Structure 1
Amino acid sequence: PPVSSNDGNGTNDSPKPLAGQTKVEPNLVVRPPKQQISFEKNIQLPQLPSLFETIGYAHFFGSFLIGPQFSFHLYRKFLTVSLYPDASNVPPGSYKSALKSLTLGALYLGVHQIAVGYFPTSYLITPEYAAKPFIKRLAIMWCAGKFSFTKYLGIWTLAEGACILSGISFNGYDDNGKVEWNGLANVEKWKFEFATSLAQIIGSFNTNTNLWTKTYIFKRLIFLGNKNLST
């Protein structure tokens, strides 16, 4: 372990990290990668929320129509500004991250609007499609399915940007002390785009809704004694 040295004047030098160790500034909340802050442990409420809190939670502008879903515990921490290490100093960087989400969301929606004109899903049930060679049908089906999902990615990315801009997406700091604003990201874009299995697609798509359903629905079915129904 690092050893503090005394300079003879009654003052001790602060311990220095060894080679390979990560220096973390005090008061920084460092979270494991991809951990969702909304569904961390101990999200139970010590007291019931008021009517106005419930209405505000249900109609929060960043997730009112399409998500992402998040716990009331997170919403209350956001209201009381206890979400941040220092309530008087909100971490910087949300504007840049929100603008990035806006740009990427608009790009997804633009690709969707153009691509669905060439690969509409309605074409898959036409006689013309059925008459094409098998390999060509597979290619058209893949393109139609792929581009039909881009609208969801675009809308969720725009909603993610709104949550980032409000500050509720704060997800602590990484190992280098950089602020992370991915707390309410509803899709892991790189993992989804390059998924090689159905499990990876499900695990990276609509992630907050999956966690919300697991936490508030399936785990409450444990009394049924059926693993397939309660996990």
Structure 2
Amino acid sequence: MANVTEPGFVHFLAQNIGATDDALRFLLSVFAGYPLAFIHRLFLHGRPPTVQHIYFILSGLLLFYFNFGTDLIHAVINVILIHLLIIFSGGTTFSVAAAFIFNTSYLVIGYYLNSSYDYVITWTTPHCVLTLRLTAVVLDVYDGRKKEEKLSSEQKETVLHKSPSILELLGQTFFFGAFLAGPQFSMRRYLSFTQGAFTDPQTKAAPASVMPGLTRLLLGVFYVFLYQVVSIFLTENFLYSDEFTKLGFITRCALILIVGRIFLCRYIGIWLITEGSCILTGITYNGKDVNGNNLWDGCTNIKLYQLEMASTFRDIIASFNHNTNMWMSRYIFKRLRFLGNKVLSQGVTLFYLALWHGLHSGYYMCFMLEFVMVNAEAKIVQIVQKSPVILKITSIPSVKSVLWVVNKLIVTFSLSYALVSFITLDFRIYLKIYSSVYFIAHAAYLSVIVLNIFIQPVLSSQGQQSSDHHVVDGKKNGKDL
């Protein structure tokens, strides 16, 4: 491993602010996206695509070397090999299978060689972003060989009818605003951006995206600051301390909720900051809203308002890590329709998502819990929709308000509960924490799924009887049914 760890300014600064060298380098590199974006706006906007590709490649490689030293060779090798795959077999089923197997295997081997239960940033951190990006390019080239009528609306947005050049592939890979922590964006979007498709055809000026970009920066800094401040007083380490086990049950649950929620702030903050630098360049342009205002949400990884107001797992999934979830839906879940089972497709997708994160059992426990919680929520919704009495009660405004608060509390705790295994990774640690609260979420959500097996037939029977009753009444009253 060739990470840059020698003593210097970064090491000195990291010691004085209580951070690790690798974390500080990563954060400085994320912030570096802003001056790099302004340079692009001032000097490279509207220039030939080749010039822009070279700029993105050189700036990205420098940031990569600043963080990981000569380990940047892994990214370069992966890109070159995928480019050769596209040249010799692009558009074939073999190329799709080979890309999935090779890209994922390269990443997994990297995880194995750099395995640690401590949170350490290594070359595998940006490589997980690269894995999805390169796999998507191969699939988009594959879609480009299909007939237009066989493409879905999503596929038409990303399809590549022409294989990208090595310069285009490297430019997208090392784009400074997204190669470290995302967001994901398609090669089609990148090429449109460098070819000037997002530029005002009349003014040819740099995009009016400075304020939207800086707004995301400020929001990101706020969430990172919030995470840092709370972490001074409460960290995940406290959850498996002797002091934690001595606390009351409600207090233990409350602390799990707080730790999980604050842990998310770290990811939210970084994603907002990276998105801001992308907005500054203009690559996130997404058309105009109904009022004619420019939309800059084409690379949004966090739908902040929706996330903070979410009271269901469905809303959280739709708003958190949005682009990665969209990638998983577009390139895995929806392409597993041949399995003929939506739940099975969902399970395979979540397994790949866990594998993409790493080899530790904590990732698999976390996404297994997500799978169970999402499906349990779906069962509850089905039960409510089949019960006229419950629907009537829950439609009362005052009841709806109370239910929102209750649902928000339950969903926030449940998400934090699942994140316990994601944060700690070691099964000996997260099982200890789960046992301290009697595996409450495991038991609750699994019980919902089991009970649903017995409840659904009863509700279906009641629904049929109600339907028959209305038919008889309709005939008696002479109504046209």
User: TM-score scaled by structure 2?
Assistant: 0.38
Tell whether the 8 Å contact from 1:195 to 1:201 is kept in structure 2 after alignment: yes
String of CA shifts for 1:115-145, please: whole Å, max 9, x gaps. 1122211111112111111111121111111
Aligned to 1:67: 182
Equivalent position of 1:14 in the other structure: none
CA distance in 1, matches of 2:179, 2:267: 15
Cα distance in 2, alignment partners of residues 194 and 131 from structure 1: 33
Structure ID, larger Rg: 2
**Displacement, 1:60?**
1.1
CA RMSD for the aligned pairs?
A: 2.0
Once the two structures are TM-superposed, the CA of residue 91 in structure 1 deviates from its matched residue by 6.8
Match runs of 1:13-162 below 5 Å: 40-42=154-156, 43-84=158-199, 86=201, 89-90=204-205, 92-162=207-277
- The answer (yes or no) to whether the contact 2:207–2:281 under 8 Å persists in 1 is no
Contact 2:216/2:276 (8 A) holds in 1: yes
Rounded Cα–Cα distance in structure 1 between residues aligned with 2:339 and 2:312: 30
Preserved CA contact (<8 Å) 1:57 1:75: yes
Equivalent positions of 1:160-199 (< 5 A) are 160-199=275-314
Shift >6 Å, 4+ stretches: none
CA distance in 1, matches of 2:203, 2:331: 33
Look up the SS of the partner of 1:208 in the other structure. Answer: helix
Instruction: Give the Cα separation in 2 of the matches to 1:76 and 1:228.
Output: 36
1:53-85 CA distances to partner (integer Å, 9 max, x unpaired)?
111111111110110111111111111112346
Over the matched positions of the two proteins, sequence identity in percent amounts to 39
For residues 12-40 of structure 1, the C-alpha deviation after alignment (integer angstroms, 9 at most, x for no partner) is: xxxxxxxxxxxxxxxxxxxxxxxxxxx95
Deviation at 1:93, TM superposition (A): 2.8
Q: In the TM superposition, what is the alpha-carbon distance from 1:216 to its structure 2 partner?
A: 2.1
TM-score, scaled to structure 1: 0.77
Kept in 1, the 8 Å contact 2:207–2:282? The answer is: no
Cα drift, residue 213 of structure 1: 1.8
Q: Does the CA contact (< 8 Å) of 2:198 and 2:282 recur in 1? A: no
Alpha-carbon spacing, 1:188–1:211, altered in 2? closer, same or farther (3 Å)? same
Are 1:220 and 2:335 an aligned pair? yes
The question of whether the paired residues in 2 share the 8 Å contact of 1:105 and 1:154 is answered with yes
Query: Cα distance 1:85–1:93, how it changes in 2: closer, same or farther (>3 A)?
Result: closer
Deviation at 1:88, TM superposition (A): 5.2
Q: 1:188 to 1:139 in 2, by over 3 A?
A: same
> Which residue, out of 200, 208, 230, partners 2:323?
208
For structure 2, list consecutive stretches of 5 or more residues without a partner in the other structure: 1-152, 347-481
Taking the aligned partners of 1:229 and 1:93, their CA distance within structure 2 comes to 45
SS of residue paired to 1:106: helix
SS at match of 2:287: coil
d(CA) in 1 for partners of 2:207, 2:159: 29
1-side partners of 2:248 and 2:204: how far apart? 62
* Equivalent residue letter for 2:287: G
The corresponding residue for 1:19 is: none
Residues matched between the structures, number:
193
Question: Within 1, Cα distance between the matches of 2:342 and 2:207?
Answer: 44
Larger RCO, structure (CA 8 Å, separation 6 or more): 1
